[in-house]
Structure 1
Amino acid sequence: MKKHSFMSNLSNRYGARPNLCANVWTRMSLGLIIIFSISVIYYSSAAEAAGPELGVTAQKAWETVLSKADSQTKLSLQRAYENVGNWTTQEQAWEQKTKTIHAANTKELEQLRVSIRQIDDAKIAGLIEKVKQTEARYESLFALYSSVNRQLDATKAIKNKEWSAAIRTQADTLKPVVQLARQDIRFKKKELGEARKRKSAEVKRLRTLLAGADPVKKQIQTGKKQASLSKERYSNALQQFKQSTKLGQSSRVLSSLNSLSAAAEKWAGSKQHIYTLEQKVSATYAKVRQELTKRPK
């Protein structure tokens, strides 16, 4: 009875041993299944991502070539195939990065042109207003001085010495005041003219800096033509690869894959070159923006 009681207590305390083993085994099995499933999904995705884009027929032909090749040749084929995929992935990445930076450069160029065109506009507008206000302030003085001079001419005609002397005295009194007024207006206009000259010189200088990107833009156009040719070569090489898979000779398929990989590398390189040139354009615009920023407000 004691022995039975001891076993019962042991069972109650730790549970049934066979059931515990079964639970552990079940959990381990589920874990292995999950890991295996994730691995299958991962490697399937990686296989789909690698290599050039193929249609259903070409993909089947490629898989047939792989299945018939020996292990060493199969490994070489897969590596070459993945190289093509890596280069085409890079080409797409450079293409997207180039589009982004080109859009930014285009927007920045528009803003820089506006900013350059508007240099010192507020200052010049203020000087124009000063000239107008100064001229308006002296308008009545000039009108009075003109009227006195007309009266002086009239007194000469009638030969009235007393009237002529009185008018002349008035004219002589107004003359230095009028001269100072005219000098004030000339000074304001000179100040305006110098501001306009400075603006013109600064606009010319900054536009010259901005035009420093023009030779690079021409290189970009040339680069785009080269990229287009590289794309055409890649397309031709891809067709040759598809044709070689139909023939089923692994050596020819490997050769065509290597040619396709070289074409893809050239294509990706041409896109990277265009991106590098766009960076140079961006750097030029940044210099112009810096020049505008450091100008006195």
Structure 2
Amino acid sequence: MKKSVRLNAAVVVVTLAALLMSTQGATIVEAATLQLSEAQKFALTKATASDPSRAARFNSLYNELLQLQTQIEQTDQSFNTLHYRNEESLTTVRKQVQQINAAQLLKLASAVKQTQERYKPLFVMYTSLGNQLSVARKLKNKQLTSLLSTQLEAAKITVQLAREDIRSKQNALSTTRSKTTQLQKSIRSELSSIHTLKIHIKAEKSNVSTLNKGLSPLWKNVTQSIKINDAAAAYNALSQVTSKLRQMESGKQKIITIERKIETIIQSAKSKTPAV
């Protein structure tokens, strides 16, 4: 009977060692920062040799720990890629918002100025005729007054048309400027909601950081328990480490979900921005 127990124990040792060592060459271990050394794995197989069920649970939990670390690394990479892309897109969109209708506004403003300059001699002449008419009336020169009145009346129609032309171009500039300002305000208001989301990301990152700081002492408990052949304590400590990693991965998933919301906002704002 004792021989049978020793045989079963030996099988458990070999099996657990094989399972633990088989993960070493996988990518999942290469990405991990918390992992058992070969000596620690061997010590663990000895500590759990008499309890195949515990050995299996420990191995399953250890594999989950490695997988979680890989998932966390992959989530970090996905977040970084998305975050940097969002930051670049956000900068681009803000520049585009600043330049909305810039060329058109410049063209309209130039048209107003050119039109004013073109009619400037007409207005000077019209003002001069009015001044001359006033002088002629003071001098009570009926012939000159009649002549100047006729000239002034003829120029009046041309001046009115000139003023309407200028007013039309000023209205076009004013309308476009107003619409541009409203559109810019609307898009900037939409983009401003990103600030709140970034605050949420910062809070989640803080939570994850707190969890991460708690890993080191817990992992130390794992290795120390293995060192003194206390499989139960090692399993309990490993469970706590794995639990924290689960929470970290969950937190990081929340972060990337928020970052995706930021991406959606940027894309929405971009769709409302006319091509420059």
Name stretches of at least 5 consecutive residues in structure 2 with no aligned partner.
1-20
Distance in 2 (CA, whole Å) between partners of 1:180 and 1:113 is 41
Name stretches of at least 5 consecutive residues in structure 1 with no aligned partner.
1-40
Measured after TM superposition, the shift of residue 108 of structure 1 is 0.9
Q: Provide, for residues 11-32 of structure 1, a one-character-per-residue CA deviation record: whole Å limited to 9, x for no partner.
A: xxxxxxxxxxxxxxxxxxxxxx
Q: Provide, for residues 131-186 of structure 1, a one-character-per-residue CA deviation record: whole Å limited to 9, x for no partner.
A: 11211221111111122122112223332221121112111111121111112111
- Confirm whether residue 194 of structure 1 aligns to residue 164 of structure 2: no
Alignment of structure 1 residues 1-297 onto 2, 5 Å: 44-46=24-26, 49=29, 53=33, 60-70=39-49, 71-292=52-273, 295=274
When residues 46 and 240 of structure 1 are mapped into structure 2, their CA distance, relative to the original with a 3 A threshold, is same
SS of the equivalent of 2:214 reads helix
Whichever residue aligns with residue 145 of structure 1, its letter is Y
Q: Provide, for residues 181-231 of structure 1, a one-character-per-residue CA deviation record: whole Å limited to 9, x for no partner.
A: 112111111111111111111111111222233332221111111111121
Whichever residue aligns with residue 282 of structure 1, its letter is E
Whichever residue aligns with residue 29 of structure 2, its letter is A
Contact 1:112 1:289 in 2 (8 A): yes
Distance in 2 (CA, whole Å) between partners of 1:206 and 1:218 is 20
Distance in 2 (CA, whole Å) between partners of 1:156 and 1:162 is 10
Root-mean-square deviation (CA, aligned residues, Å) is 2.4
Query: Stretches of 4+ moved more than 3 A in 1?
Result: 41-44, 50-56
The size of the alignment, in residue pairs, is 254
Distance in 1 (CA, whole Å) between partners of 2:223 and 2:124 is 95
Contact 2:204 2:255 in 1 (8 A): yes
User: Could you state the TM-score of these two structures normalised by the residue count of structure 2?
Assistant: 0.84
User: Could you state the TM-score of these two structures normalised by the residue count of structure 1?
Assistant: 0.78
Measured after TM superposition, the shift of residue 278 of structure 1 is 0.5
Distance in 2 (CA, whole Å) between partners of 1:215 and 1:115 is 22
Contact 1:148 1:171 in 2 (8 A): yes
Measured after TM superposition, the shift of residue 247 of structure 1 is 2.1
Measured after TM superposition, the shift of residue 50 of structure 1 is 7.6
> What fraction of aligned residue pairs are identical, expressed as a percent?
24
When residues 89 and 241 of structure 1 are mapped into structure 2, their CA distance, relative to the original with a 3 A threshold, is same
Distance in 2 (CA, whole Å) between partners of 1:157 and 1:110 is 68
Distance in 1 (CA, whole Å) between partners of 2:53 and 2:147 is 122
Contact 2:31 2:73 in 1 (8 A): no
